[in-house]
Amino acid sequence: MILQTPLLPSAGLAKITGARTVDLKLECLQHTGAFKVRGAANKMLSLSDEEKKRGVITFSTGNHGKAVAYVAGKMGIRAVVCLSEHVASYRVQAIRQLGAEVSVKGHSQDEAEKNYQDLVSAEGLIPVLPFDDPMIIAGQGTIALEILSTLPDADVLLIPLSGGGLLAGIAMAAKSINPGIHIVGLSIEQSPAMLESLKAGRPVQVEEKDSIADSLLGGIGYVNRHTLPLVEKFTDEHLLISEEEIKNGMHYVFENHRLIVEGAAAVGVGALIDQRMDVKGNTVVTLLSGNSINSRDYVSIIQHRLIDDDN
């Protein structure tokens, strides 16, 4: 159900940063176009037969929703994805095509979440949360096992950070193998919910602005039980990444590696290009977490960069 994704060396990024090596972990090639199938599969395969019979439910519109739909399809179990009326039709279609039922209700994400809670009580469906669940966190951690089986001497891992399931899983697994490994969390300036929550010592909401890294938008949940303490414990360095740096990262991997990635996946490359941290002499891995972006947005970002370069 999961692809073991390759590590691609980037001689160019090693040169820019003075690192010994820089490798890109290509989760943009994962089934459904993002790493989220790892957590979803680990969670859903751990359900009892009785729970599988009842089916699962989630309210994510993005990569997590797709992952739950995909895994449910493979397992032959029922999956319901709750969406608001504002979710773009190409996303609704993608989720339906993977075989999930879509329940469209309400004008906002909050109303979609209300519908989700009603369905959990009324139909006894099993919630599959996007990040704050030990089985989801452990599933994302398999990325670290793959990286360290190929590069046992990796010193620095650059991980995009939003709800924190990805970073918590990778950091915990990596540090249990190599306690000295340096974990860098990359949040976006437009929506640094995890960073603000770490400062406050409890989950806080931040004002959310649009970002080209839309998979990193969103809060960490009013009630956060797992990812906030784990991210606090296992992250060695935090960086805030700008929209400009994200675009630089997307453009760099296209120009130099012919890879198409979404904004959320490009934060690490953007930070390396701008030399936001000292990685001289290190073995560095940056995670390209997904490729879910529509053609129109993608072309416009790359095109702007090409016009800037020509001038």
Ligand X SMILES: *Cc1c(COP(=O)(O)O)cnc(C)c1O
Pattern 36-55, binding to ligand X, x per CB under 6 A?
x-------------------
Cα–Cα distance, 137 to 46 (Å, whole number)? 13
H/E element, 197: helix 193-200
Closest approach, Cβ 38 to ligand X, in A, equals 11
Does the protein bind ligand X through residue 224 (CB under 6 A)? Answer: no
Does the protein bind ligand X through residue 164 (CB under 6 A)? Answer: yes
Cα–Cα distance, 112 to 173 (Å, whole number)? 34
User: Which residue's CB is nearer to ligand X, number 286 or number 289?
Assistant: 289
Note the helical H segments in 49-131: 49-54, 63-75, 89-97, 109-123
Which tokens in the block code for residue 46?
């751990």
Strands 21-26 and 56-58: unpaired
Q: Which of 128, 158, 166, 269 forms a contact with ligand X (CB under 6 A)? A: 166
- Strand ranges across the sheet with 79-83: 101-104, 79-83, 56-58, 126-127
User: Which residue's CB is nearer to ligand X, number 55 or number 163?
Assistant: 163
Cα–Cα distance, 280 to 74 (Å, whole number)? 44
- The region of 51-59, 80-88, 162-170, 233-241 touching ligand X under the rule CB under 6 A is 162-170
Residues in Cβ contact with 46 at an 8 Å cutoff, skipping those fewer than 6 apart? 135
Does the protein bind ligand X through residue 163 (CB under 6 A)? Answer: yes
Does the protein bind ligand X through residue 288 (CB under 6 A)? Answer: no
Closest approach, Cβ 210 to ligand X, in A, equals 16
Pattern 12-41, binding to ligand X, x per CB under 6 A?
----------------------x-x-----
* Residue showing tokens 């918590």: 168
Closest approach, Cβ 15 to ligand X, in A, equals 26
Residues 56-85 that bind ligand X (CB under 6 A): 63
Q: Which of 19, 79, 126, 161 forms a contact with ligand X (CB under 6 A)? A: 161
H/E element, 26: strand 21-26
Q: Which of 290, 293, 298, 301 forms a contact with ligand X (CB under 6 A)? A: 290
Residue whose C-alpha is closest to residue 112's, from 136, 92, 131, 132:
92
Q: Which of 139, 160, 192, 249 forms a contact with ligand X (CB under 6 A)? A: 160
- The region of 14-22, 71-79, 258-266, 277-285 touching ligand X under the rule CB under 6 A is 258-266
Cα–Cα distance, 171 to 137 (Å, whole number)? 10
User: Amino acid letter at 263?
Assistant: G
Q: Which residues bind ligand X (CB under 6 A)?
A: 34, 36, 63, 131, 160-167, 215-216, 262, 264-265, 289-290
